[in-house]
Amino acid sequence: MTNLKFPKNFLWGGALAANQVEGAWNVGGKGLSVADMATYKPDVDNKDYSAHMAITSESVAIAAADTTDKFFPKRRGIDFYHRYPEDLAFFAEMGFKTLRVSIAWSRLFPTGEELEPNEEGVSFYDSMFKEMKRLSIEPIVTLSHYEMPLALSLKYNGWVERRVVDDFVRFSEVCFDRFGKYVKYWLTFNEIDSIFRHPFTTAGIIEDKCEEGKYESDIYQALHHQFVASAMVTKSAHEIIEGSQVGCMLTKLMTYPLTCAPLDVELTLKKNLENNFYADVQVNGEYPKLILKDMANKGIQIKFEENDLTILKENTVDYLSFSYYMSMTESGDPNAERTPGNTVLGVKNPYLPSTEWGWQIDPKGLKISLIELYDRYNIPLMIVENGMGAVDILKDGTVKDDYRIKYFKEHFKQMKEAIDEGVDLIGYTSWGPIDLVSAGTSQMSKRYGFIYVDADDEGNGTYDRFRKESFYWYREVIETNGESLYK
Ligand code: BG6
């Protein structure tokens, strides 16, 4: 009889990012981060990311001068900073084996350039990891999840300048020294590929600070610095923490050809190659030849320092993690209808349903991604983000979120099929197991959680927590290690 269970010790859990949950943006010695500049703009179409992400030196200066959290939901988060014991207890009640969190760089190094960490920040994370240990929840920790110190962005245009590599290595080594006793699994950069989609959020780059005509090449240079920094801290983690496992993290943007017209297939191939480029560098330890040629064709020349090639080659990652929310298609027809995905616009797939935010729901695409990535890289995989943003209605102390249960159920079954076909998938963390502030639109009303947080887009509400119906459903999935999916 077929085994309906996931592999023994499968890491079931959820994923958070400091800047979307902690709040306490100016508490405990924390410095300003790029995330603290993100505004909620009720007047713009919530599907229009470019409007939400538009950043200029002037807009940043205005935001930085504002000492309130009125238009800045990420400054409020869901008050996880103060409520984490309650939230961790919920996760333990669901039976979480793991929880992915990130460490806010500016809580440890307020401007990024201090030589010693802010002890109050260290002590916050120490208490959080201690509590996770007590609850037997294995942490997976992202070092950089869209929250670099603002000061580094303003002074050096973020990762464009090489010296930021040293600042990041210093921050990371403090994390390894102080939290290595709790944390085995690390991730370096969240969705490292996103640097081209939102350079400020990912790498502190403000376009008007780049020399005329140099914006694109500055982004490539900043990306190179992140690749090198990632490899350097992979080395440090291995030296400082025995048995540590360091992964890269990719936004998996699965693209299909809209039709079998060769042009559609060619454009699709190129999209998928571009999407894999980042993992190619971090898993194989070198730039793919086609990408180097593409950069040369665009006239882009990255500055490599003497040892960069060796650093990349010798310090590749132990596992590959990725986010997966949706898929899209590509077409040679410039008039093909497009729909939003995760900070992208893709050609609409006529075979798939969409969320209220237009993201196309595609469980089979997750299985295809797993097979493709495992075949290409041959290292363990982890899905560290997946889920659907939805408008939830709280009624009688709960939310009837059967749409969410359906989404997860279909994705989990596809994961199981991929595992049965040989993919080494070691863990799964759903995005936002508790409602949190959206990265793309700064909304609270775009909810992902199994736990409802009573707060709206303007920050009104008690911030009390409520179990949704999916809470009990996911608990059973974890308890039965997947078997309940088939009953
Ligand atoms: C991922 C990010 O790209 O997508 C998360 O790593 C983000 O930080 C998630 O929250 C979902 O996107 P959004 O815009 O719905 O919050």
CA 322 to ligand 1 center in whole angstroms: 12
Q: What pLDDT does residue 2 have?
A: 79
**198-215 mean pLDDT:** 97
**458-468 mean pLDDT:** 97
Judged by DSSP in three states, 434 sits in strand
Q: How confident is the model at residue 174 (pLDDT cuts 50, 70, 90)?
A: very high
Q: What pLDDT does residue 49 have?
A: 67
How does the average pLDDT of the chain come out, rounded? 96
pLDDT tens per residue across span 405-444:
999 999 999 999 999 999 999 999 999 999 999 999 999 9
Q: What pLDDT does residue 39 have?
A: 92
**254-277 mean pLDDT:** 98
* Atom of ligand 1 lying closest to residue 437 CA: 16
Q: What pLDDT does residue 54 have?
A: 76
Task: Answer whether residue 202 shows pLDDT above 90.
Answer: yes
Q: Is there a catalytic annotation at residue 116?
A: no
Q: What pLDDT does residue 138 have?
A: 98
Q: How confident is the model at residue 191 (pLDDT cuts 50, 70, 90)?
A: very high
246-275 residues labelled b (16+ CB within 10 A) or e (exposed): bbbbbbbbbbbbbeeeeebbebbeebbebb
Task: Answer whether residue 47 shows pLDDT above 70.
Answer: no
Give the integer Cα–Cα distance in Å for 97 and 475.
Answer: 11
**259-275 mean pLDDT:** 98
**What does the DSSP assignment read for 341-353?**
-SSSEEEPPTT--
Neighbours of 9 (CB within 10 A): 10
pLDDT tens per residue across span 110-129:
999 999 999 999 999 999 99
pLDDT tens per residue across span 223-239:
999 999 999 999 999 99
Q: Tokens 């010798």 — which residue?
A: 314
DSSP structural state of residue 242: T
Q: Of all protein residues, whose CA lies closest to atom 2 belonging to ligand 1?
A: 439
**What does the DSSP assignment read for 140-191?**
EEEEESS--BHHHHHHHTGGGSTHHHHHHHHHHHHHHHHHTTT--EEEEETT
Q: Which tokens sit at 271?
A: 């999209």
Q: Of all protein residues, whose CA lies closest to atom 3 belonging to ligand 1?
A: 342
Q: Which of 22, 138, 330, 385 is catalytic?
A: 385
33 lines ligand 1 (CB under 6 A): no
Number of helices (H), then strands (E), belonging to the chain: the values are 17, 14
pLDDT tens per residue across span 279-314:
999 999 999 999 999 999 999 999 999 999 999 999
For a pocket test of ligand 1, which of 140, 201, 361, 438 has the largest count of ligand atoms closer than 8 A to its C-beta?
Answer: 438
Structural contact between residues 314 and 349, judged by C-beta atoms closer than 8 angstroms: no
Close Cβ partners of 433 (under 8 Å, ≥ 6 residues apart):
13, 14, 15, 16, 91, 94, 96, 99, 448, 449, 450, 451, 474
Q: Which is higher by pLDDT, 49 or 17?
A: 17
Q: Of all protein residues, whose CA lies closest to atom 8 belonging to ligand 1?
A: 439
Distances (CA, A) of 218 to 203, 204, 240, 474: 11, 12, 32, 43
* Atom of ligand 1 lying closest to residue 357 CA: 15
**What does the DSSP assignment read for 57-114?**
HHHHHHHHH--S-TT-HHHHTT-HHHHHHHHHHHHHHTT-SEEEEE--HHHHSSSS--
Q: Which of 22, 138, 147, 191 is catalytic?
A: 191
341 lines ligand 1 (CB under 6 A): no
339 lines ligand 1 (CB under 6 A): no
Q: What pLDDT does residue 395 have?
A: 98
Length of the chain measured in residues: 487
Task: Answer whether residue 1 shows pLDDT above 70.
Answer: no
pLDDT tens per residue across span 319-369:
999 999 999 999 999 999 999 999 999 999 999 999 999 999 999 999 999
Structural contact between residues 278 and 219, judged by C-beta atoms closer than 8 angstroms: no
Task: Answer whether residue 52 shows pLDDT above 80.
Answer: no
Neighbours of 466 (CB within 10 A): 17
Q: Is there a catalytic annotation at residue 212?
A: no
Task: Answer whether residue 89 shows pLDDT above 70.
Answer: yes
Sign of CA dihedral 328, 333, 336, 340: positive
Q: Tokens 């308890």 — which residue?
A: 479
